[in-house]
């Protein structure tokens, strides 16, 4: 019997509703495929914790999390009580850096039976991976404010890109593209307007393309790229992007497939020198939290990506099939997909479909 | 007989094809409504000019443009011969700053008869204005590169926001929202990730909202906002955004209405201390340039915005009606809208429909 240790962190809002469904499905998969998850649940990295302790995480959070095989995370943020940049920089964004999870991998795939907001697009017509740089770029903490509170007030924030940081995520994306049938990599840029960092990004893409003659490479400025996601989503296979552009594309891509409620993501440290983290793309969704109607598929699919990461490929594939089976059934879908199922109904249905 | 001086700058690629159609329609509108355009055509601000002169514009470009009532611009950029950041910073981006055109105003409207890539959306269901900050923000020229050519290479680029710069564009957007029936303003932010500049942007929005109790204000992070444009475009009325976010939203919004080929834009200096500039949202489109199939509607509609700016409101409205009439007719549409008309056919049809 194979055992994996998993840190489970539900966080805020619908994170607390969808994580249990993710665990339900993972446990069932373990029974069927012969592995056990040793779960360590943590209540920190939530705004409730912040309100009690004045910090998002205890000072010894790293020791408490230890060295699990993976982290299974829900969502964080409750802007009514804690400003978003405080809650996020005190948890998720910190983890991505401290654990050097420099690849954020996110699929967008149109599933059978799921209604797409795009006209005339059927299953198979959208099937892409977004590879997002996850530790530097536009998400820097460098900068500041001058003349605060006066008419002359000014704020500055730096975007920082390093050859080290750009090359390693590009290499991951090129390798992924090479492993796919289409062998097609699209780079998101904005070198016509963002005139220092983005031309550098383009240069690194061009240089690395030399090592991958078998991969077809193109680039789009981010503005027209978002337009192309809507007009011609079938043109894309693997899309590599900076931290901010990847953030945008990995919400927009899933939206084109029907809902961001189904989109999973993996924050990966490819060298495995520290744990990787698996979380849905959606956030804590305060507007629907507490009503039991959140779509658990993004969390469950993130669980499948986690199993792939630890080496349980068969179990991961069977979860994906179970998701497809359930999504094809309107009555088993949650309201964001025009269904009537609750979060728990949908989670149970997927566990059963295994 | 009223006279207006207009600097006409076709630029590159399809700019050279659609500007003449814009002029055709403007001249016809002048005949019908009793005004004349004194046109001064310029060949600079094009990559051809750059290849001949080594600069995008002559040193005395400001004197040559003089003080027209408006600038009517096509598009610039020909990346095969001149890198985009060179051509753009040497022309359009420079103008926006030198002429202090701090508002970039861009409508996205679903027109009768135009097929939308979104399922089940009809005319009227998308009708928004995007107000983009146009002189500061993410488009700064501050930053640089260190350790170039080595493994330690690093690039830094600063985003700069000032209270002066943010407040004036917000005020424009709030005033515009107030003038509309829905009185609804959406602010694009990313204050959960971009932790210095975007929280400042949010603060200024919140402060100014106090002066506009009659305007309903909400905010979305840019990632989920792009998703909402696809899933619920009818939720938006006026959207205000930073330079980069506005750039993205004003390509994505028009894409949701069928094509960015019809989208116009106005780079406005509201105080009229310097000329405003009118240009389509689309670029020079090297992939289709020279084939006579570019959609001239974005350019023509930009001409209507220009007429509105100089005070010819009736003529502007009649151009809009003519555009609607022609777009409703599949055979008068260009190929991007699944029609068979050429650029010239479509331009002539709109002139005639006046
Ligand atoms: C060409 C480019 C620099 C420009 C911009 O990003 O501002 C264009 O995309 C636009 O939207 O006007
Ligand atoms: C919550 C937020 C800081 C985060 C991000 O921007 O990275 C989220 O949008 C995501 O995509 O994981």
Span A37-58, pLDDT tens digits: 999 999 999 999 999 999 999 9
Domains A1-102+266-354 and A127-256 share a fold: yes
Q: Which helix (H) or strand (E) holds B173?
A: helix B163-179
Average confidence (pLDDT) over A25-46: 98
CB interface of A with B, residues 36-95, below 8 Å = 77, 83-85, 87-89, 93
Average confidence (pLDDT) over A52-66: 97
Q: Is A116 an interface residue toward B (CB < 8 Å)? A: yes
pLDDT band, residue A106 (cuts 50/70/90):
very high
Return the pLDDT at B88. Answer: 95
pTM over 0.85: yes
The domain locations on chain B are 1-102+270-354, 127-256
Cβ density class B9-27: b for 16+ within 10 Å, e for less:
bbbbbbbbbbbbbbbbbbe
> Vertex B204, ends B221 and B224: CA angle to 5°?
5
For residues A163 and B124, the answer to whether their CB atoms sit within 8 Å is no
Which pLDDT tens digit goes with each residue over A273-332? 999 999 999 999 999 999 999 999 999 999 999 999 999 999 999 999 999 999 999 999
B256 contacts in chain A (CB < 8 Å): 230
Return the pLDDT at A114. Answer: 87
Average confidence (pLDDT) over A340-351: 98
β-bridge mates for residue A240, sequence order: A131, A187
CATH superfamily of B1-102+270-354: Isopropylmalate Dehydrogenase (3.40.718.10)
Distance (Å) from CA B193 to ligand 2 centroid: 6
**CA B258 centroid distance within chain:** 16
pLDDT band, residue A108 (cuts 50/70/90):
very high
Distance (Å) from CA B92 to ligand 1 centroid: 8
* Residue closest by Cα to atom 9 of ligand 2: A247
CA distance, residue B233 to nearest chain A CA (Å): 11
Residue B59: φ, ψ to 5°: -55, -30
For residues B215 and B184, the answer to whether their CB atoms sit within 8 Å is yes
Asked whether the predicted pLDDT for residue A67 surpasses 90, the reply is yes
Distance (Å) from CA A193 to ligand 1 centroid: 6
H helical segments located in chain A: 15-33, 47-53, 61-65, 84-89, 92-98, 163-179, 197-209, 222-231, 243-256, 297-310, 313-327, 343-353
Q: Which helix (H) or strand (E) holds B299?
A: helix B297-310
Residue spans of chain B under pLDDT 70 = none
Determine whether B54 is exposed, middle or buried from the number of CB atoms within 10 Å of its CB (0-12, 13-18, 19+): exposed
Return the pLDDT at B114. Answer: 87
Average confidence (pLDDT) over A2-13: 98
Contact B224 A158 (CB under 8 A): no
Which pLDDT tens digit goes with each residue over A153-205? 999 999 999 999 999 999 999 999 999 999 999 999 999 999 999 999 999 99
Q: What's the sign of the alpha-carbon dihedral A63, A66, A71, A73? A: negative
Q: Is B136 an interface residue toward A (CB < 8 Å)? A: no
Residue A122: φ, ψ to 5°: -110, 175
CA distance, residue A237 to nearest chain B CA (Å): 19
State how far the alpha carbon of B32 is from the alpha carbons of A1, B6, B351, in Å: 85, 18, 11
For residues A167 and B171, the answer to whether their CB atoms sit within 8 Å is no
Ligand with an atom nearest the CA of residue A285 = 2
Residue A74 CB contacts under 8 Å (≥ 6 apart), including other chains:
A9, A10, A11, A12, A14, A15, A16, A18, A19, A279, A280, A284, A299
Which pLDDT tens digit goes with each residue over B233-246? 999 999 999 999 99
Ligand 2: lining residues by beta carbon, under 6 Å: A 88, 93, 247, 281, 283; B 192-193, 223
Residue B348: φ, ψ to 5°: -60, -40
Q: Which helix (H) or strand (E) holds B167?
A: helix B163-179
A46-51 contacts: CB < 8 A, separation 24 or more? A46/A10, A46/A11, A46/A12, A46/A15, A46/A76, A46/A78, A47/A12, A47/A76, A47/A77, A47/A78, A47/A81, A47/A82, A47/A87, A48/A12, A48/A78, A50/A81, A50/A82, A50/A86, A50/A87, A50/A90, A51/A81, A51/A82
Asked whether the predicted pLDDT for residue A69 surpasses 90, the reply is yes
Residue A105 zone, left/alpha/beta (φ > 0; ψ -120 to 50; rest): beta
Which pLDDT tens digit goes with each residue over A109-155? 999 888 899 999 988 899 999 999 999 999 998 999 999 999 999 99
Residue B131: φ, ψ to 5°: -110, 110
Q: Which of A119, A197, A251 sits opposite B117 (nearest CB)?
A: A119
The CATH class of A1-102+266-354 is alpha beta
The CATH class of B127-256 is alpha beta
Residue B232 CB contacts under 8 Å (≥ 6 apart), including other chains:
none
Contact B231 A259 (CB under 8 A): yes
Q: Is A160 an interface residue toward B (CB < 8 Å)? A: yes
| Ligand 2 binding pocket mutation candidate from A56, A88, A105 (most atoms within 8 A of CB) | A88
């Amino acid at each position: 019997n194979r055992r994996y240790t998993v840190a489970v962190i539900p966080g805020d809002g619908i994170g607390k509703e969808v994580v249990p469904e993710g665990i339900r499905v993972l446990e069932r998969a373990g029974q069927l495929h012969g592995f056990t998850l040793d779960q360590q649940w943590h209540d920190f990295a939530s705004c409730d914790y912040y309100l009690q302790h004045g910090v998002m995480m205890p000072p010894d959070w790293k020791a408490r999390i230890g060295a699990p095989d993976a982290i299974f995370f829900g969502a964080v943020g409750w802007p009514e009580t804690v400003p978003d940049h405080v809650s996020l920089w005190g948890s998720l964004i910190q983890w991505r850096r401290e654990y050097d999870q420099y690849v954020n991998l996110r699929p967008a795939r149109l599933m059978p039976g799921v209604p797409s907001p795009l006209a005339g697009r059927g299953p198979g017509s959208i099937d892409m991976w977004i590879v997002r740089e996850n530790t530097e770029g536009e998400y820097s903490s460098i900068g500041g404010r001058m003349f605060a509170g006066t008419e002359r007030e000014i704020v500055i924030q730096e975007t920082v890109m390093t050859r080290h940081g750009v090359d390693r995520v590009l290499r991951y994306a090129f390798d992924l593209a090479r492993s796919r049938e289409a062998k097609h990599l699209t780079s998101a840029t904005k070198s016509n307007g963002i005139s220092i960092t983005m031309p550098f990004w383009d240069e690194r893409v061009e240089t690395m393309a030399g090592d991958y003659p078998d991969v077809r490479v193109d680039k789009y400025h981010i503005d027209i790229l978002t337009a192309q996601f809507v007009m011609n989503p079938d043109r894309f296979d693997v899309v590599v992007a900076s931290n901010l552009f990847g953030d945008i594309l990995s919400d927009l891509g899933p939206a084109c497939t029907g809902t961001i409620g189904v989109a999973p993501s993996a924050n990966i440290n490819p060298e495995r020198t520290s744990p990787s983290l698996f979380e849905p793309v959606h956030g804590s969704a305060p507007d629907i939290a507490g009503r039991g109607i959140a779509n658990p598929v993004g969390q469950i699919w993130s669980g499948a990506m986690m199993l792939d990461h630890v080496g349980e490929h068969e179990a991961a594939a069977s979860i994906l099939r179970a998701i497809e089976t359930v999504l094809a059934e309107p009555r088993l879908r949650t309201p964001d997909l025009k269904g009537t199922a609750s979060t728990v109904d949908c989670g149970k249905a997927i566990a059963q479909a295994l």
